[in-house]
Amino acid sequence: MNIALITIGNELLAGFTVNTNASWIGTYVLKAGGKVLWHQTIGDSKEEIHHALMSVPSGCETIIITGGLGPTHDDVTAVALYDYAEDSPVFDEAYWDNLQKRLSKRNMTLPDLNRNQAMRPQKGNVIDNPVGSARGLHFIVDDKHIYAVPGVPREMKEMMKSTILPFIRQNSENMLFVRTIRTTGIMESALAEKLAHIVQDTPNGLTIAFLPQFTGVDVRLSSHDENRIKDLAEQIQSTVGKYIYGFDDDRLEDTIGEMLSGKSLTIATAESCTGGLIGHRITNVSGSSSYYVGGIVSYSNDVKESALNVDHDVLEKHGAVSPETAIQMAENVREVLHADLGLSVTGIAGPTGGTKEKPVGLVYIALADGNNTIVKEFRFVKDRTLNKNASSQTALNMVRLYLMSKVNK
C-alpha cells in the first residue's frame, strides 16, 4: 500500500521544529508493509491543504496528514478536510462533556476556544486520542483514505498504532522486516570486505545497507521474508561476531551491563578527557547500580595524584596523556573504589592543548582486572565532541571484548 504524507505547520517550514514525525511514520509504515512514496510539508492554510491533497500522486491510495488539529485559529486542518470531503460537522455533546469532566478532575476548566475540538464529521469518523484533547479524523474521498492526526508526537503515535498502522497492515501484501546489526571497532570498508562473500550471495528481495557513524557501523538488513533476515544475520554473526555489540536499538552500555551482571563482576571508571561521559553512559542503564560502583573524574593532575594515587614521577616523566598514566589510573581506581575491574581513559580532547608529539585526538585507554592490565593507544580526530564519543565507545568496547574473552576461556 502506497502512502502520501502531508505534514502541516509553519514551524516545520521555518525549520524551528525538526520533522521527526515524518521519519517515525516512514519507518513504521514500512514495517507495516506500506511505503511512503511522497511527502509534502505546507503551512497552516486551507488553500495549501487543498492544493496538497490535489497534488497527491495517483499511485498513493492512502493519505496521512499530521498537524493543525489544535484549538487555535492557526489550526485549520479540520475545516479544510470538512470542505474537501463536502461534509458538515456536528457538535459532539457527549465528547464535550467528557472533555470537561477530564479537566475538572485536575481542577481546570476548558475554555470555549476548545469547542471546535468536539466537532465530529457526519460522513467520516473520529480517531480516539487517549493522551490529548484533539481527536483524529478519517474520510474516504474518491476511494482514497484520508487520515488526519495531531502533530504532537505522542498523540500522533498513539493514533498511528491504534488505527492507521493496523489498516495499512491489513491492506498490504507483505510486512517488511528490518534488522539492524550494530558493530564497533571496525571501519566500514574493512567490514564490507569481510562480508563481501556473504553479501554477493544475497538473494533478491533482501537489502543490505552499511550505515557508518563515528562510533561504529550499523548494518541494516531488510526483507519481506523474516527467515531470510534471520539466516543472513546468523551468517554475519558467525563471520564478524567479534565486532557486533547488539541489534536494533541496543546500546553498547546495555550489552556490557548484561555481561557484567551475568558474571557478577563490578566495574569502576577513571576518566580524564571524557569528563564523566563513560559513567553517564553506564548509568543510563536501569539497574546499573548492581555492577557500577562509581568513578573518579580526574580532570586535573592534582586529582590524578590525590584521589587516584598516580605517581607524581610518572606524571612528570611521561605526562598525563601516556600509557603509564592510563595504566595507573585503571589499576588504582579498581583498588580505591573496590571494584573487580578498573577502566581508565586519558587523552587530548581538543580543539586546543595538542602538541607535535601529543596531538589532539591522542587517547590511551586501559583496563585492569587485578591480574593483568591492558592499555591501548588511539588516534581520533580534531573535534572535542567526536573525541569524547569515540573514546567512551572504544573504552566500553574494550570491556566487552575483555568479558567475551573470559567466556571463551
Q: Given the complex with a copy of itself, which of 244 and 337 has the nearer CB atom? A: 337
Amino acid code (one letter) for 405: S
Task: Measure the CA–CA gap between 52 and 205, rounded to whole angstroms.
Answer: 33
Cell of 96: 464535550
Question: What does each C-alpha distance from 137 to 30, 225, 382 come to in angstroms?
Answer: 22, 34, 51
Q: Name which position in 42, 99, 110, 219 contacts a copy of itself (CB under 8 A).
A: 42
Q: Would you give the binding string for a copy of itself spanning residues 128-167, x where CB under 8 A is met?
A: ----------------------------------------
Task: Measure the CA–CA gap between 61 and 83, rounded to whole angstroms.
Answer: 20
Stretch of 34-42, 86-94, 141-149, 323-331 contacting a copy of itself, by CB under 8 A? 34-42
Q: 3: how many CB neighbours lie within 10 A of its CB?
A: 26
Considering only residues 327 to 366 of the shown chain, the ones binding a copy of itself according to CB under 8 A are 336-338, 349-353
Question: Length of the chain in residues, anyone?
Answer: 409
Question: Burial of 287 by CB count in 10 Å (0-12 exposed, 13-18 middle, 19+ buried)?
Answer: exposed
Q: Would you give the binding string for a copy of itself spanning residues 51-70, x where CB under 8 A is met?
A: x---x-x-------------
Q: Given the complex with a copy of itself, which of 323 and 354 has the nearer CB atom? A: 354
Considering only residues 254 to 313 of the shown chain, the ones binding a copy of itself according to CB under 8 A are 268-269, 271, 273-280, 282-284, 286-289, 292-300, 302-303, 306-307
**Binding footprint of a copy of itself, residue count (CB under 8 A):** 76
Considering only residues 208 to 247 of the shown chain, the ones binding a copy of itself according to CB under 8 A are 209, 211, 220
User: Considering only CA atoms, which of 330, 334, 333, 390 is closest in space to residue 363?
Assistant: 390
Stretch of 63-71, 75-83, 151-159, 380-388 contacting a copy of itself, by CB under 8 A? 380-388
Task: Measure the CA–CA gap between 54 and 51, rounded to whole angstroms.
Answer: 5
Q: Given the complex with a copy of itself, which of 242 and 358 has the nearer CB atom? A: 358
For residues 69-90, one letter each, b for 16 or more C-beta atoms within 10 angstroms of the residue's C-beta and e for the rest, the string is bbbeebbbbbebbbebbebebe
The nearest distance, CB 91 to a copy of itself, in angstroms, is 29
Q: Given the complex with a copy of itself, which of 57 and 130 has the nearer CB atom? A: 57
The nearest distance, CB 242 to a copy of itself, in angstroms, is 26
Considering only residues 14 to 33 of the shown chain, the ones binding a copy of itself according to CB under 8 A are 14-20, 22-30
Question: What does each C-alpha distance from 178 to 168, 184, 200, 225, 246 come to in angstroms?
Answer: 17, 20, 19, 10, 14
Task: Measure the CA–CA gap between 222 and 166, rounded to whole angstroms.
Answer: 20
Q: Given the complex with a copy of itself, which of 42 and 330 has the nearer CB atom? A: 42
Question: Burial of 10 by CB count in 10 Å (0-12 exposed, 13-18 middle, 19+ buried)?
Answer: middle
The nearest distance, CB 234 to a copy of itself, in angstroms, is 23
Q: Given the complex with a copy of itself, which of 119 and 329 has the nearer CB atom? A: 329
175 contacts a copy of itself (rule: CB under 8 A):
no
Q: Given the complex with a copy of itself, which of 124 and 322 has the nearer CB atom? A: 322
